[in-house]
Amino acid sequence: MSFQPKYLKYKSKYLNLINQKGGDIIRTAKTTNNKIIKDFLSIPIDMPDIPYKITKYSYEIDNKTLHLIKIKLNSDKDKPILFALGGMSHKSFIGTANIILNKLDLIKTKFRVIYLLEYDSFKETQNSACSQRDIIKKTSKDLDKMYKPELDMNLQIADYINKIIIKLNLNNVHLLGKCNGAWVVSLLLLKSDIYKGLYLAVPGIPFGVDILSNLSIDRLEKINFVFGWLKQDGYKFDWGISYEEKDRYDRIMKQIEEHNKNKLKYKSYMYDNHLDIDLKIYHELYPEMIDDIINTL
């Protein structure tokens, strides 16, 4: 095999972890009160009601609480489902959710339901993983070693999400992730062939998307891939700056195509808001990326 992603030395262990089961899921709350949803999303109270049926679920999993908002856009069962994650924090969730909520009329032309996941309860786990990473950095610059604690955490999150999706009996699911959420949904994609789309916004993945090489060409051919970055996003990772990442992801996807001798349904975009570069404020799903996802679906 001419293309061997670096961290595939962990392949067997990680793929075993991906397929493990464990941790009970209990649905603890359900509501269709629009005001409660808006308050949870920190939407201004004078904002018009979202004109679609909204349901909020909360799941207790191994002492973690995951909140899930379901927005039913239409009843066309031939249309896929969009499942979206922001970054780890509630603030990141709000930023991504509000962008999506302002695109609902467009999204409903191609999707029938949207699920928005908030997993802020993992923030303490992430802080611990980052502390372990910083300790490892003092003795090694190997990304595989440095980011193993965070990878293990995201594998666990992906496992929990997959169990929720199975409990909800979902199918034909397209995954959208921002920053750390992009890492989680990339791992989630490996779990089942019910996942038909992978949309990554300003992805924060040390290894890029090397892990996609684990999928068969038959599976890869059926997946829509849309990745997006912003020229003004100066968010600094240990391995580079966010706006520099597009070339790396394009290169990895091309290597996967060349290895499989087949063309993927892959598009990537570099957006430009024509403002000055900022270290953090533009590290977000760019609104026009929603348009490009809809246009390529």
Domain segments of the chain as ranges = 6-296
Backbone angles phi, psi at 160, to 5 degrees: -60, -45
Weakest-pLDDT range from 8-17, 85-94, 104-113, 124-133: 8-17
The number of residues in the chain equals 297
Model confidence at 8, in pLDDT bands (50, 70, 90)?
A: very low
* Most confident listed range (128-137, 141-150, 152-161): 152-161
Share of the chain above pLDDT 70, in %: 91
What's the helix, strand, coil split of the chain in %, to 5? 40, 25, 35
Res 42: pLDDT: 86
pLDDT mean across residues, the chain: 88
Which long-range CB contacts under 8 A does 7-14 form with residues at least 24 apart?
7/143, 7/144, 7/207, 7/210, 8/210, 8/213, 8/214, 9/144, 10/144, 10/148, 10/151, 11/214, 14/151, 14/155
The answer to whether residue 211 scores a pLDDT higher than 70 is: yes
What span, in angstroms and rounded, lies between the C-alpha atoms of 143 and 132?
Answer: 13
Weakest-pLDDT range from 43-57, 208-222, 276-290: 43-57
Mean pLDDT of 250-273: 95
CATH of 6-296 among 2.40.100.20, 3.40.50.2300, 3.40.50.1820, 3.40.1410.10: 3.40.50.1820
The answer to whether residue 243 scores a pLDDT higher than 80 is: yes
Position 239: which residue type? W
H or E, element range at 53 = strand 53-61
Res 19: pLDDT: 41
